[in-house]
Structure 1
Amino acid sequence: MQIPHWQLPPGVSHGTWEYTQRDSIATDYDEYFAFNSLFDFDQALLADEFQPPGLVADLGCGTARALVPLVRGGHRGLAIDLSEPMLRIVEEKAAQENLDIRCLKANLVELNSDAVPTDSVDHAMCMFSTLGMIQGHVNRERVMANTFRMLRPGGKLVVHVHNFWFNLYDPGGPRWLVQNLAEGMFGRRIEVGDKYFAYRGLNDMYLHVFRPRELRRLFTEMGFRIHRWVPLEVTRRHALERPWLFPTLRANGWIVVGQKPLDAKVAEPANRG
């Protein structure tokens, strides 16, 4: 039975809530992506950016596919997710290899200093379009503000998202773009970039896809300095070739590295109260 909208955690859609609660999604996750090489590029980039070794917060960690290799390489891990089934698998992986990973069940929108102290994390990542699974622009801002607060000055946040304009190449994509722009700009039900689709047995999975200006503002208005901006090619397995040639229309998505300034001063996030 679907729970009422008002009982959902902030920023969590019905589809996302079902995604986090299903044991089958978690237990099949690694096998589902077992032969997908898109993780190879991510892992190389993360290893390059997260230096020296320190505490890495994996925001929306899933089964910690991105976190485990970093911890094997000398980092400590903080695995954060709303899904108990996912976190159980992370705990099993950590126990099997004696990895230094602590698990925290939390909603990224409500991640305050009681859960993760201010200036306590060396590196953070929000991969596999997890930020796009947060419903509502205000809630995505809160996630970014919470992450900025927890990072030490000089710490980096690595984020992956999908490109709004890449939908031009999908069957029915141009029509969806026009309709979504009209509904998002002149209606109140959705925001520009909101998508609902069937995914792994879920009929109303939610994902927000980003326009470049929107994504840049999300970083800079929360205080981050953009350190690196990587447009991704169609299969998301490496960076876009000739990135100067219409990247807004050609990129499947982006990996963005934001850095917290060394002189940053942080107030408590706005989601309190």
Structure 2
Amino acid sequence: MDRNIRTVDDVLKLLDGLFAPEADRWTAGAAGWWDGFYDDRSKAVPFFVAKPDENLVASLDRGLIAPGGRVLDLGCGPGRNALHLASLGFRVDAVDLSPQAIAWAEERAREAGADIRFHQGDAFELAATGLTGPYDLIHDSGCFHHLPPHRRVSYLDLLDRLLAPGGHLSLTCFAAGENGMGSEVSDADLYRQSALHGGLAYTPESLRRIFSDLTEVELRRMNDEPPESPYFGEAFLWTALFRRDAADAGR
């Protein structure tokens, strides 16, 4: 008989287990699933392209994000956004669960002569032990929507630990509604079904509620970029930019 629950972390790990084997997409044991995903680099996967997110480029070009700071790229994959940020003089830490993704990103960085610090592992554990903030920008292109509802608590804690006062969260995630993508099953039903259905869709209202401790700068659909564009863009995604106000730090 197990009676081992005594901390919030114990509860979170118990809830992780309800979603096995999908837990392999966000926990420390995820290397196997994601390594299989990244193993064939010739697959027609939209974000395998070596192009930065159009919303990230637009935020930088419009001066919404200040140049030259420290950046954390969450779920960096093959490193397309990390490479773009490093080319602009940002000091970049890039995290991914998959050794295959990190190896691919490191290859791209070597070819580009980019100085990026790559970290393979669970971002939540690294936030507590291996990553040293504060970061002026945390960029997340497709990590957040793979988390089960209870791991939003861990995500917000990561932001609280690592995002600098005045810093920004740049987020890209599945959009609910017409021409969107991802599961629109309610949080409660996700637990009843013990399934995440490949990723969760969000409404603007749900994103505003989850990140209500931050100030919204922009929230819109991602532009649908044509194949010849130098930027990545798919209209089934939301893009959001939130700012952590200096007065909110340390609350």
Pairwise same-fold verdict (TM > 0.5): yes
Does the 8 A contact of 2:204 with 2:219 survive in 1? no
Mapping of residues 65-214 of structure 1, within 5 Å:
65-118=80-133, 120-127=134-141, 129-134=142-147, 136-166=148-178, 180=185, 185=188, 188-190=191-193, 195-196=196-197, 206-214=198-206
Change (3 A) 1:44 1:253: same
Does the 8 A contact of 1:164 with 1:209 survive in 2? yes
How far off its partner does 1:20 sit?
1.8
Q: TM-score, normalised by structure 2?
A: 0.73
How far off its partner does 1:147 sit?
2.3
Instruction: Please give the alpha-carbon distance, in whole angstroms, between the structure 1 residues aligned to 2:215 and 2:47.
Output: 34
Please give the per-residue CA displacement for 1:9-59, whole angstroms capped at 9, x wherever unaligned.
89882562343232x615517874489798562342242333121111100
Q: CA RMSD in A?
A: 3.6
Q: TM-score, normalised by structure 1?
A: 0.67
| Aligned positions, number | 223
Mapping of residues 219-234 of structure 1, within 5 Å:
219-220=211-212, 223-232=213-222
Does the 8 A contact of 1:156 with 1:257 survive in 2? yes
Amino acid at match of 1:123: L
Alignment pair present for 1:42 and 2:30: no
Matched residue, 1:265: 249
Change (3 A) 1:10 1:92: farther
Matched residue, 1:57: 72
How far off its partner does 1:124 sit?
1.0
Structure 2 runs not aligned, ≥5 long? 1-12, 227-234
Change (3 A) 1:145 1:227: farther
Instruction: Please give the alpha-carbon distance, in whole angstroms, between the structure 2 residues aligned to 1:157 and 1:147.
Output: 8
